[in-house]
Chains A and B, each alone.
Chain A
Amino acid sequence: MQSHNQYFVPHGSYWPIVGSVGMASLLAGFASSLHGSALGSGAMVLGFGIIIFMVFGWMGQVVHESEAGTYNKQVDRSFRMSMAWFIFSEVMFFAAFFGALFYARNFSVPWLGGASNNFFTHQELWSDFKAVWPLIQMPDPSKFSVPKDIIHAWEIPAINTLCLLTSGATLTWAHWALLNNKRNQIIAGLAATIILGIIFLSLQALEYGEAYKHLDLKLSSGIYGSTFFMLTGFHGLHVTLGTIMLIVILMRVIRGHFNPENHFGFEGVAWYWHFVDVVWLGLFIFVYWL
Chain B
Amino acid sequence: MATTTSDVQIDIDAHDAHHGPEKGLLRWVKTTNHKDIGTLYLWFAFTMLLIGGAMAMVIRAELFQPGLQLVEPQFFNQMTTLHGLIMVFGAIMPAFVGLANWQIPLMIGAPDMALPRMNNWSFWILPFAGVMLLSTLFMKGGGPAFGWTFYAPLSTTFAPESTDFFIFAIHMLGFSSIMGAINIIATVMNMRAPDMKLMDMPLFVWTWLITAFLLIAAMPVLAGAVTMMLTDRNFGTSFFDAAGGGDPVMFQHIFWFFGHPEVYIMILPAFGVISQIIPTFARKPLFGYSSMVYATASIALLSFVVWAHHMFLTGMPIAGQMYFMYATIMISVPTGVKVFNWVTTMWRGSLTFETPMLWAIAFVILFTIGGFSGLMLGIAPADIQYHDTYFVVAHFHYVLVTGALFSIIAAVYYWLPKWCGRMYNEKLARIHFWWAVISVNVLFFPQHFLGLAGMPRRIPDYATQFADFNMISSIGGFAFGSSFLLLTYIIVSCIRSGEPIEDERVWESAKGLEWTVATPAPYHTFNEPPQKDKILSESSHVGAH
Contact = CB atoms under 8 A, between A and B. Distances in A.
Given A7-B191, A16-B120, A27-B172, A69 B245 contact: no
Interface stretch (B228-236, B348-356, B377-385): B228-236
A88 B219 CA distance: 11
B2 interface: yes
Interface string A132-150: 0001001110011100000
Contacts of B217: 88-89, 92
B250 A104 contact: yes
A219 B235 contact: yes
Interface in A85-110: 85-86, 88-93, 95-97, 99-100, 103-104, 107-109
Given A10-B117, A12-B30, A104-B250, A81 B317 contact: no
Given A70-B12, A139-B244, A143-B244, A222 B185 contact: no
Given A89-B178, A96-B221, A220-B235, A9 B189 contact: no
Contacts of B16: 9, 11
A65 interface: yes
Contacts of A10: 12, 32, 116-117
Max chain A Cβ within 10 angstroms of own Cβ: one of B110, B125, B190, B231:
B190
B132 A28 contact: yes
B304 to A, nearest CB: 11
A31 B165 contact: yes
A220 B236 CA distance: 4
The majority secondary structure among interface residues of chain B is: helix
Q: How large is the interface on B (under 10, 10 to 19, 20 to 34, 35 or more residues)?
A: 35 or more
Contacts of B463: none
Contacts of B13: 6
A97 B223 CA distance: 10
B95 to A, nearest CB: 20
Interface stretch (A224-232, A238-246, A269-277): A224-232
Contacts, number: 244
Nearest to A27: B168
Report, as a range, how many residues of chain A touch the other chain.
35 or more
Interface of A: 1-2, 5-17, 19-21, 23-24, 27-28, 30-31, 34-35, 58, 65, 68-70, 72, 74, 77-79, 81-82, 85-86, 88-93, 95-97, 99-100, 103-104, 107-109, 111-112, 116-117, 125-126, 135, 138-140, 143-145, 218-220, 222-227, 229-230
Given A17-B120, A69-B6, A96-B220, 5 more contacts: A12-B120, A23-B175, A28-B165, A31-B164, A226-B239
23 contacts: A1-B2, A12-B120, A13-B32, A20-B124, A68-B8, A82-B185, A85-B182, A85-B186, A86-B182, A88-B216, A89-B220, A92-B218, A99-B257, A100-B239, A100-B250, A103-B253, A116-B317, A126-B243, A138-B243, A143-B244, A144-B243, A220-B244, A226-B246
Interface of B: 1-2, 4-6, 8-9, 12-13, 15-16, 22, 26-27, 29-33, 110-112, 114-118, 120-121, 124-125, 127-129, 132, 161, 164-165, 167-168, 171-172, 175, 178, 181-183, 185-186, 189-191, 216-221, 223-225, 227-228, 231, 234-239, 242-247, 249-250, 253-254, 257, 317, 527
